[in-house]
Amino acid sequence: MDLKSLNRAPPPAAEFTEVLAIPPSETAERDLFFVHVVDETPLHARVSFRDLALGLYLSGRHTIRRRNGANVVDGWSDPGTINLTPPGIEETWEASASSRAAVVVIRPEFLSRVIEEYWGADSRRVEIIEQFLIRDPVVEAVMLNLAREAAGDTPAGRLYAESGCEFLAHHLIYRYSNLSRPPPRSVGGLSSRRLRVVLEYIEDTLGQPIKLRELAALAGISARHFERAFRQSKGSSPHAYLMERRLQMARDLLLNQPELPIEQITRRLGFSSSSHFSSAFRRRTGFTPTNFRKTWSQ
């Protein structure tokens, strides 16, 4: 596929589709934002965003390379990972395969109004900081519901979607702008080699019981020291990380293997029961596994 350019000007929904290999399966445009559900993200794209863009990967796990001038970053597009691209960014994206994704684009004039009216700051001095393949349960849950509700052309759906967009704008300013407080710097985490060994073991045994002392032995340290070092390296406890990876895999199985029964997914990923799986999945996404599959399956 040849590289395509995205130099957006209003109306944004029409211009956005120029970067896609196929049209979005769902789309909705509002005064504040627009939403697309993209079944096949492009393998190559050269983009220049005029508005703030959020991309949430729904299914598919592929390598992604982002080039911004001389800056090159690589990562994996796991389900649930998010890209945040502020206005004025020009870059090139390359992927090893296509994914399914939801894209929300928020108009800069709306962000400026929120910043000035609610945060009391000069919007010209506020910078939204670009994020690449991050995890943010708040953004994920809001984007999933925006994509679902915005597609329905009802007064209640519109009100819900617009309220969700305003909440999302506040969250982005609070977490990913120069108005945010920088997180405390972590020290004493696992070395890159030890962390890689532990993460590879988790991936290989995702559906089996994994004990803390087993992971600590792989890292060559005590269980107590390991838990603290792992949290400093990954930003979450080993248990929370394992649960997150299982739920990410569950999303992929629900969407990419629609005939696979929920009970089999439960057993494959090591959940104690279907009710345990359903409860954990709903807390993470706002959907039961069955409703998630019905809503987001192609």
Chain segment 236-258, per-residue pLDDT in tens: 889 989 998 999 889 889 988 88
Q: Look at residue 6 in the predicted model and tell me its pLDDT.
A: 35
47 in a domain, yes or no?
A: yes
Same domain, 105 and 164: yes
Same domain, 203 and 125: no
Residues 6+ apart with CB under 8 A from 61: 76, 77, 78, 79, 99, 252
Residue 124 pLDDT > 60: yes
Residue 244 three-state SS: helix
186 in a domain, yes or no?
A: no
Considering the chain, what is the average pLDDT of its residues? 83
Q: What is the domain extent for residue 284?
A: 192-296
Same domain, 137 and 211: no
Q: Alpha-carbon distance 170 to 32, whole Å? A: 14
**Better pLDDT: 34 or 140:** 140
Same domain, 96 and 39: yes
CATH number, domain of 21, equals: 2.60.120.10
Find out whether 80 and 54 touch, Cβ atoms under 8 Å. Answer: no
| Burial class, 80, CB count within 10 angstroms (exposed 0-12 / middle 13-18 / buried 19+) | buried
Find out whether 257 and 215 touch, Cβ atoms under 8 Å. Answer: no
Q: Of 32-41, 104-113, 146-155, where does mean pLDDT reach its minimum?
A: 146-155
Same domain, 72 and 155: yes
Same domain, 74 and 163: yes
187 in a domain, yes or no?
A: no
Q: Look at residue 261 in the predicted model and tell me its pLDDT.
A: 93
Domain boundary among 176, 208, 226: 176
Same domain, 206 and 143: no
Same domain, 164 and 32: yes
* pTM of the predicted model as reported, rounded to 2 decimal places: 0.68
Give the other-Cβ count within 10 Å of 191's Cβ: 12
Same domain, 16 and 148: yes
Residue 13 pLDDT > 50: no
* 8-state DSSP, 70: T
Domain boundary among 120, 146, 176: 176
Average pLDDT over residues 94-117: 89
CATH number, domain of 263, equals: 1.10.10.60
Average pLDDT over residues 77-96: 88
161 in a domain, yes or no?
A: yes
Same domain, 24 and 78: yes
Total structural domains within the chain: 2
Write out the H or E segment, with its range, that includes residue 85: strand 82-85
Read off the tokens for 252: 């992929």
Q: Alpha-carbon distance 112 to 107, whole Å? A: 9
Domain boundary among 128, 146, 176: 176
Q: At 204, phi and psi to the nearest 5?
A: -75, -25
Q: Look at residue 54 in the predicted model and tell me its pLDDT.
A: 92
Going along 126-242, which residue ranges are E strands?
Answer: 131-134
Average pLDDT over residues 260-266: 93
Q: Alpha-carbon distance 110 to 272, whole Å? A: 45
90-95 and 26-29: which strand pairing? unpaired
Residues 6+ apart with CB under 8 A from 294: none
